[in-house]
């Protein structure tokens, strides 16, 4: 049976890093605050405030659910790997490998999304690329950049 110990350790390390840059402990506190805010009966008296609170609540809850899902996947993989090694069951290798691949892909997505945490990162943008000087070559280059 293949030893997945280093693969599992690498995913665990990345998950621990994600816990740091996502500020999971702070998010859990913030989620509690937002849940209390959403539960208030007079929330919808100010619709702009209510929309902002609901948006924040959905975002925080989604981030925490994704983090918890990855953590559960990692725990399941660790347990499955440990059990398979005890009985030398190579038939579990594909399942372990697939679960690790899913966890890595989810962590890649979390890492990418974490780059966009600025104030205006949720906003739309209009990008305009002009060739200016340079003739046909500049126009071709502009067209390639635009794609």
All structural domains of the chain with their residue ranges: 5-146
Give the predicted TM-score (pTM) of the model.
Answer: 0.78
Reported as a single tens digit per residue, the pLDDT across 40-73 is 999 889 999 999 999 999 999 999 999 999 999 9
Torsion of CA 26, 123, 128, 113, to 10 degrees: 30
Predicted pLDDT of residue 82: 94
Contact 99, 84 (CB under 8 A): no
Class of the CATH-defined domain 5-146: mainly alpha
Output phi, psi for 132, to 5 deg.
55, -115
The first and second tokens of residue 43, run together, are 């929330």
Q: Is the pLDDT of residue 132 over 80?
A: no
Distance, CA of 71 to CA of 12 (rounded, Å): 8
Read off the pLDDT band of 124 (50, 70, 90): confident
pLDDT above 90: residue 14: yes
């Amino acid at each position: 049976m293949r030893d997945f110990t280093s693969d599992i350790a690498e995913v665990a390390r990345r998950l621990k890093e994600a816990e740091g840059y996502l500020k999971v402990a702070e998010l859990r506190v913030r989620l509690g605050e937002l849940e209390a805010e959403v539960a208030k009966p007079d929330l919808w008296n100010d619709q702009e405030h209510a929309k902002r609170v609901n948006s924040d609540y959905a975002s925080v809850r989604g981030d925490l659910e994704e983090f918890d899902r990855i953590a559960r996947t990692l725990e399941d993989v660790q347990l499955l790997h440990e059990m398979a090694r005890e009985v030398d069951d190579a038939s579990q290798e594909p399942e372990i490998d697939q679960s690790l691949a899913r966890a890595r892909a989810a962590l890649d997505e979390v890492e990418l999304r974490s780059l966009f945490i600025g104030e205006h990162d949720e906003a739309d943008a209009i990008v305009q690329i002009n060739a200016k000087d340079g003739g046909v070559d500049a126009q071709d280059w502009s067209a390639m950049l635009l794609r």
